[in-house]
Amino acid sequence: MTCRSCGAPLELDFLDLGFQPPSNAYLSPEALYRPETTYPLRLKVCENCWLVQTEDYTAADEVFTADYAYFSSTSKGWLAHAKAYCEAMMDRFSLNAESLVIEVASNDGYLLRNFVNTGVPCLGIEPTDSTADAAEAVGVPTLRRFFGERLARDLVTEGRQADLIAGNNVYAHVPDINDFTKGLALALKPQGVVTLEFPHVMKLVELGQFDTVYHEHFSYLSLVTTQRIFKRAGLRIFDVEELPTHGGSLRVYGCLDTASHSTSSQVANVLAEEQKRGMEASAFYEGFQGRAEHIKNELLRFLLKAQDEGTTVAGYGAAAKGNTILNFAGVKPDLLPFVCDAAAAKQGMFLPGSHIPIRPPSALMEQRPDYVLILPWNIAQEIQQQLTGLSAEGTRFVTAVPELQLKAQ
């Protein structure tokens, strides 16, 4: 295999999580009686451009299917994040009724509906029918295609170039990152801006966030690597923000290399921090496998001890990251009888691989477990606030990443 960004051979191993099904391929009760497809889930590091990436076993249309079950609007915290972004972009770039905002991977309209409500024309690009239906239901015009250079050329032909292109947590999800980036450049107006948010691989490594690895994520990005990919496509990063979302993310601001946007000193600051951490040397990435296995073993020890002591454990959040760690650890319903989730589309289904049943949050009040394992640890505080009635009854909350932790009641 060669690097999906620069084409160099890949020789540095980073992480091997065994064979796993796609993390959002939730199972119906009938599907439990059929064979389940799994793929190797392994990461390598390019020692030329330092892009961390999955080995190529799955295609985008195999994981982003018509019944894709991830709906961004499920998290109130993420909705607030999206609203704040829209307000900031409108103010910073003077967006109005004459502008066009495009969001790539617009999901259920969680973000663009804010622009719709203020009269700024927008277009969502979303290939999964389940989420596109939800977006159109709230008034977001949606094009049901995968984004890339071909689609961008179609948009240019139709006279639909953007003042702002938003891409929240999509850049890591594209198998052909060069084609995608060239599409961004084509779809921008001469002074247009693209913003991309993605988990910062620096935080992934330093905090042991191996559960953010799953087949839907093809790439794991730093600023220095993203800058190189942008440059090849004729784009320039002129600003960057460090965000707390997803355990530590970057929001990069890009424009055509001919645009007049001045470059913020923050770009040099983040690049210097990455260099200080040694992110362009193999030593930074070595040893991560052992850290992932330690986290896995700590979770298993906790669940086995609870079983031995007769205490009950339930899960909360049928999230992709939860599926990664449960399948890596081999956790089944005997150790975690059920997981609750607020997304109606997941309730009554089963987690891929582990076949743990997904129930509505009301099941927690009915069962009153001794512990609730919060799988999406990045929104653990939000979930705890939603379940304050449960903690008042004595239930303790637990997270497994970056280390096993019992939360304060």
Model pLDDT, residue 78: 86
- Picking from 219, 249, 284, the residue at the C-terminal end of a domain is 284
Model pLDDT, residue 76: 84
Q: Are residues 346 and 375 in the same domain?
A: yes
The domain that holds 120 is classified in CATH as: 3.40.50.150
Low-confidence ranges of the chain (pLDDT < 50): 66-68
260-268 LR contacts (CB < 8 Å, sep 24+): 260/191, 261/191, 261/193, 261/236, 262/238, 263/236, 263/237, 263/238, 263/239, 264/238, 264/239, 264/240, 266/239, 266/240, 266/241, 267/223, 267/237, 267/238, 267/239, 267/240
Range of the domain at 97: 72-284
Q: Are residues 280 and 305 in the same domain?
A: no
Q: Are residues 276 and 325 in the same domain?
A: no
The per-residue pLDDT for range 314-354, each reduced to its tens digit, is 999 998 999 999 999 999 999 999 999 998 989 999 999 99
Q: Is residue 279 part of a domain?
A: yes
Per the structure, how many domains does the chain have?
2
pTM of the model: 0.90
Q: Is residue 130 part of a domain?
A: yes
Model pLDDT, residue 216: 87
Model pLDDT, residue 68: 47
The per-residue pLDDT for range 227-281, each reduced to its tens digit, is 999 999 999 999 999 999 888 999 999 999 999 999 999 999 999 999 999 999 9
Q: Are residues 115 and 185 in the same domain?
A: yes
Q: Are residues 194 and 340 in the same domain?
A: no
Model pLDDT, residue 407: 82
Model pLDDT, residue 1: 87
Q: Is residue 370 part of a domain?
A: yes
Q: Is residue 48 part of a domain?
A: no
Model pLDDT, residue 75: 76
The domain that holds 364 is classified in CATH as: 3.40.50.720
Q: Are residues 278 and 335 in the same domain?
A: no
Q: Are residues 154 and 85 in the same domain?
A: yes
Q: Are residues 256 and 317 in the same domain?
A: no
Model pLDDT, residue 57: 64
